[in-house]
Every structure is written in structure tokens, then in C-alpha cells.
A = this chain, B = another copy of it.
């Protein structure tokens, strides 16, 4: 990656997503002035503009975009340009229907919305390089262009994985490269099971429409392949931009908890990560209880937002990130789309900053009067009046928000292959990788501590506490890597640690495979609990998942007190390493509090919806609830508001 001087090192700034092509050109000058007046710095444009830029094959129309950029530049605004590949034009699909993605049901998906391309298609890859080259040639060195966004929201609408003939052909080649011989593939996938042995790579189908569920190793490799296709597609664009647009940064706007590709891999060559934050939609689609959904319907729930901030800080290489699209009014894509509470837009902006955002860019300038997102809000209403969110943006004072890199003492480990392996065989209806990760993340946040989300294989030096909530895949290398930190840090593992090999198999020695020495225990049994069943660990009620251990050097901190595992260890301690096998928010919280106490770290007892985050020398107290709350220092915080203290608490 080429480090870039622009972007994340500058003062905190605001931006907006803007589609000049959707509005009469005579309104453009006034819009630019109004953006400045609102205090905006960055304007993202040309996101879905391919059919305007290239209305016919090979004929480019730059005039409108030239004019749009120049007007913004003239108003002192900085432009973020997008490669327009998330929406190839109709003429390209007509000429090359083989670029379309196919869905899991085995059907080609049609033109008429967006993301209608298969990154495994060599035809599409060529066109992607061509349009990227054309755009970067035209604007790569334009002085107003601050940086680039590639494509848009990889993986949205279930597009990270395509089941097309193009994908099938590419998958077979990918497997042949990865395994060289079918014998090696057969060994890795355990095809000895159910007579699945292949004698030819061309016998291998994509893992959809199989009679029973597919082999999880087959699925896992397909997920890796799909992620690779996206990364290759992405890297091709980045290489072109690096060459033709020197000195500009490059980012991509990722999505909340998107899990269908390896974000570390796809982001590897970016300067920093960005993501699109829509807090009310996150609540609507969450597993929160109905009462919590009601409580947070208009503010979002802070940990569902904050986790993504922390995630993309890490995905971007441990660097300040952007919120490229920040909800600033009602969204349009949830089953119901409630208005945000007064104060919510300001609160979201402040929280993003405190979690490491250097820019928050609102979506979108003016509410669209046409097409799929016509009911989505903008800073301006359909009728050009300033909407509720726009008024909050106008009132924001961000002068005290310095853009220091984050300092974090605690790390939470994450890895997409672990996620894929977990969710392919969840074994309990309420269990999933993200739910298990959030169980630990929420506990830390409720204790008032900040946490870095890090890839499991990254350098973890300097962290005093390392939490691995759901580290399913562990081989010798990963086990050795983690063991390296045991002398210097406390480490906490959640259920299923070390349950899988990189192929997605079970270790012949059983769980936790090569982690056994570190954990001081081995798995005895696991118990997948349906919603109507629970077991106990003393006064704690365990739902969803319970696993017990055979001690092998460690000592039992807690044992099950009911159910089939009664009397068996539920939590094991081995030196500074703790293994938690019981799914219970209170137990996890109490154990993590105990770890922090042992490390001499003061903790708080924050209720759901009240959070604290620190950046530089400042502390940001946040109240996402509809009530006035009393903070630990005895002061109060109004509903849906924040307070910035200039000292680090």
C-alpha cells in the first residue's frame, strides 16, 4: 500500500454524498454554496455514473462531470470520486449477459437495480479495468480530487457470492491452483465421507442446490474463492488508480457486519477503510428484544454501531476511518423506517469520531425524487428545504475533535474464515459468530472500556487483555502466534475456540486442537440449546450453547450446576488464559470485569444505551436512551445526547 498524505491525518471533517446528475444543472452552484455553508468539506460523487459517463460503448461524456467537479472545487470543496463499477450499463449487459451474477437458487439475476455483476467474470473484469482507467486518466490528477472510493458496498444484496457458470469455471481453476491434485483436495475436504471423492476438478459443482447440505469444507473453500475473486477485481482497480492518480488516497465503503468476504483481504491495498452507517436499520434487523427495538428504534443501539467503527478501524490497518455514508434522517430499506430522534445525527457523528473516524459523510445531499430510494432522506428534503438531519449538521461544532490515532489496551480478535466455519454449522438455532462476538464486545463496552478489533493473526504486542470470542479455526501457526502473548497479556477465549482446522474439519485430537496446551483443557462435550432450554452455572443461566472441559493443567473457575454437564468445568483458568464455554452475558461480563480488576483497570457499570469512548485526551459520554441518565461521576446526560470531556477518564 502506498501511504497517502491526504485524508486521515487532517482535522476532523464532514462530507456528503452527492449525485449532481440527478438534479438540474442550474441548481448545482447553489448546492455547492449551501454545502460550504453547512460546514462540509468533502463531496462524494459519480458513484453510479457509468451509463452517464459512457452512454454508448466507447463513447465517453465527460462534460457534465467536468462541470460538476469544477463547481465543487470552485466552492472550496474536496471531491471524492468513485469507480462506477457497482452498476454496469444496460448496453454492456445486453452485449454480455454472462457478466450477470446468479443467485443461490441457480438463476441469473437481471439488470435494473445495482451490483449486477460477477467479479469472477473475465469479461466484466476487463470492462472494470477499462472504465477505471478512463476515469482515472480524466480526473486522476485533478487538484480537487482528494481520493477515491472503489465501487460501492461490496457484498450488498447477497452479491459477494455468485452461482454462475463463470463462477463455477473460475472455482474449478482456483481449486486446481490451490490443491494441484484432486487427491489433496479430497484429503482436505474429507470427501471420503458420503462417497464425495472427486477424480477430476471438472466434477466439482458450486455448493448450491445439493440434495442435503453441502460439505462444509466445500462451502468454506467456495467462500474463500468468492472473496478472492472480489479481492482480485478490487486490486485491479486499485493498481490503476495508484498509477494514474498519484498522491490520492483510496478507500471503499464497507457495510455493517457484512460477512460474505474477507474484509482484511479485500481492504489490504486501501489507505484506510470506510463504512456506511445506518443505525436505525441495524436495530430493525438485529436480534434485540422487542422492548430494546422500541427503545433504540430512533437512535440505534450504540454497540451495534460502535462495533463496526472498531471493526473498520482494524480492517483499515489500524488507522482512522471514514463513515462514508452516515444516515441523517429516515432510511427506506427496512421493513419499517422510523424517523431518527432529535439529536441522533449529532450523537452518531460524535460517536463515530470517538471511535476513530476522521470524516463523517452524510447520505445524501437531497432526497431523490425518483427510483428505488425515493423515500430515503437527504440533508435536503425533496422540496429542497433543509431536513431535520441537515439542521443538526448545521449546528455541529467539531472544533474540539482531534484526530489522534486511537490508543487501546484491549483487543478483541476477529477472522472471517472463523465466521464462515461457525455459521456453516451453528448447531444451535440462536448461535452465530456475530452474536457470540457481540456477547463479549457488549460486556467490555458495558464495563466502560474501549477495545480494538483486530485480526487474529495480527501483531498483538502491547495489549494487556486479548479476547477471542469465537476463534473457531486454529492451526499450529495460529496457536503458536497466540501463545506468544500469554506471558504479557491476559487472554480470554469463548466457546468453540480451536474447534476447526483451516479446512473446516475437526482436529483429530478434538477441540481445541493445538490450543490445548495454552488453554490447559480439552473439550468434553457441547450442548446446543434450543430457545426453550437452558442450563445453569451456579446462579447464571446459560442459553444457546454450553460446552464443558476436561482439565489438562488448568483449573475450573466455574462448573455447571444443572443439565447433562452438571459438575463439569464451564470456565477454565490456566495461568493468564481463561476459557469460557457457557453462553451467558452476565457470566462473560463478570469474568471480564474480574480480568480487568486483576490488571488494575477501573471499570464502570454502564446500562445498555449509555456508553463512553475515548480518543486522544478526550472522553465522550453518550446517551442513546430516551431518558436523562446519571453518569458514574454523578452528572447527568440528557436523552439522545453526548458530552465531551477534555480529559481522558
Question: A: which residues have CB within 8 A of B?
Answer: 19, 21-22, 48-52, 55-56, 84, 87-91, 93-94, 101, 103, 105-116, 156-157, 159, 189-200, 202-218, 284, 290-291, 293-294, 297-298, 329-330, 332, 334-342, 367-375, 381-383, 387-388, 425, 427-430, 505-511, 522-523, 525-533, 563-565
- 15 A-B pairs with C-beta separation under 8 A: A19-B192, A48-B193, A55-B197, A90-B200, A91-B200, A105-B105, A109-B210, A112-B207, A113-B213, A115-B212, A294-B533, A336-B533, A338-B533, A339-B527, A388-B525
Verify B52–A195 contact, CB threshold 8 A.
yes
Inside 8 A of A93's CB, which chain B residues have their CB?
Answer: 203
- Give the Cβ gap from A558 to chain B, nearest Cβ, in Å: 18
Q: Which of B214, B338, B373 contacts A193 (CB 8 A)?
A: B373
Inside 8 A of A103's CB, which chain B residues have their CB?
Answer: 209
- Give the Cβ gap from A189 to chain B, nearest Cβ, in Å: 7
Q: Which of B51, B214, B336, B565 contacts A530 (CB 8 A)?
A: B336
Inside 8 A of A427's CB, which chain B residues have their CB?
Answer: 332, 336-337, 375
Q: Nearest B residue to A344 by beta-carbon distance?
A: B564
Verify A428–B336 contact, CB threshold 8 A.
yes
- Give the Cβ gap from A168 to chain B, nearest Cβ, in Å: 10
Report Cα–Cα, A327/B508, bound state, in Å: 22
Verify B94–A200 contact, CB threshold 8 A.
yes
Inside 8 A of A213's CB, which chain B residues have their CB?
Answer: 113, 372
The A interface is mostly helix, strand or loop, or mixed, namely loop
Verify B55–A527 contact, CB threshold 8 A.
no
Verify A87–B194 contact, CB threshold 8 A.
yes
Verify A190–B370 contact, CB threshold 8 A.
yes
- Give the Cβ gap from A621 to chain B, nearest Cβ, in Å: 23
Verify B527–A374 contact, CB threshold 8 A.
no
Report Cα–Cα, A49/B106, bound state, in Å: 29
Inside 8 A of A84's CB, which chain B residues have their CB?
Answer: 195
Verify B48–A369 contact, CB threshold 8 A.
no
Verify A113–B210 contact, CB threshold 8 A.
yes
Q: Nearest B residue to A371 by beta-carbon distance?
A: B193
Report Cα–Cα, A446/B205, bound state, in Å: 51
- Give the Cβ gap from A644 to chain B, nearest Cβ, in Å: 24
Q: Nearest B residue to A332 by beta-carbon distance?
A: B427
Verify B107–A199 contact, CB threshold 8 A.
no
Inside 8 A of A111's CB, which chain B residues have their CB?
Answer: 196, 203, 205, 210
Inside 8 A of A106's CB, which chain B residues have their CB?
Answer: 107
Inside 8 A of A506's CB, which chain B residues have their CB?
Answer: 367-370, 374, 382
Report Cα–Cα, A62/B560, bound state, in Å: 48
Q: Nearest B residue to A291 by beta-carbon distance?
A: B532
Report Cα–Cα, A522/B49, bound state, in Å: 32
- Give the Cβ gap from A54 to chain B, nearest Cβ, in Å: 10
Verify B195–A87 contact, CB threshold 8 A.
yes
Q: Nearest B residue to A84 by beta-carbon distance?
A: B195
Question: Given A189-B370, A335-B530, 9 more contacts at CB 8 Å?
Answer: A21-B192, A51-B195, A91-B200, A109-B210, A110-B209, A114-B212, A156-B212, A336-B530, A339-B525
Verify A383–B522 contact, CB threshold 8 A.
yes
Report Cα–Cα, A427/B93, bound state, in Å: 30
Report Cα–Cα, A194/B194, bound state, in Å: 46
Inside 8 A of A194's CB, which chain B residues have their CB?
Answer: 48, 87, 113-114, 371-372
